[in-house]
């Protein structure tokens, strides 16, 4: 089954404790991206990657890091989490060229992160 898999699905952590949210896709998609969903703000892009070793900032990159060493994986790293990073996170992927024209995004099921 074609899918985007995120882990963990739920996580409660404390301020300053480094964490990684993993994302893996099995569709051989070149483009991958991370979004966060917050009430009243919708989905905001954190980082995206057009291909292996190519990453770029989205609209809200502060406090996050990413890497794209393999095509299928795109982990999101919070080096020193803070309470304002409490959110619902989504990883997504699409065909080459990213979400333009008819290239739609396939989303993972989401990771709910709480930072105390």
Partner 1 sequence: DQQVKQNSPSLSVQEGRISILNCDYTNSMFDYFLWYKKYPAEGPTFLISISSIKDKNEDGRFTVFLNKSAKHLSLHIVPSQPGDSAVYFCAASGWSWGKLQFGAGTQVVVTP
Q: Whose Cβ is closer to partner 1: residue 11's or residue 79's?
A: 11
CB of 87 to partner 1, least distance (A): 14
Question: Would you tell me which residues interact with partner 1 (CB under 8 A)?
Answer: 4, 31, 33, 35, 40-45, 48, 50, 56, 58-59, 90, 92, 98-102, 104-105, 107-110
Asked if the bond preceding 29 is cis, omega within 30° of 0, the reply is no
Query: Counting every residue, how long is the chain?
Result: 116
Within 8 A by CB and 6+ apart from 33, the residues are 45, 46, 47, 48, 49, 58, 74, 91, 92, 93, 98, 99, 105
Instruction: Report residue 103 CA to chain centroid gap.
Output: 18
CB of 79 to partner 1, least distance (A): 23
Q: Whose Cβ is closer to partner 1: residue 14's or residue 41's?
A: 41
CB of 80 to partner 1, least distance (A): 26
Q: Whose Cβ is closer to partner 1: residue 31's or residue 64's?
A: 31
Q: Whose Cβ is closer to partner 1: residue 51's or residue 73's?
A: 51
Within 8 A by CB and 6+ apart from 7, the residues are 21, 22, 111
CB of 32 to partner 1, least distance (A): 10
């Amino acid at each position: 089954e074609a899918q985007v898999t995120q882990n963990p699905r739920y996580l409660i952590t404390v301020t300053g404790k480094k964490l990684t949210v993993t994302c893996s896709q099995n569709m051989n998609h070149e483009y991958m991206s991370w979004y966060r969903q917050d009430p009243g703000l919708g989905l905001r892009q954190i980082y995206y990657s057009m291909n292996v070793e190519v990453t770029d900032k989205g609209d809200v990159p502060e406090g996050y890091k990413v890497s794209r060493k393999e095509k299928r994986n795109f982990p999101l790293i919070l080096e020193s989490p803070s309470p304002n990073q409490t959110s619902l996170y989504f990883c997504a992927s699409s065909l080459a060229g990213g979400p333009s024209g008819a290239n739609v995004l396939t989303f993972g099921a989401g990771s709910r992160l709480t930072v105390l």
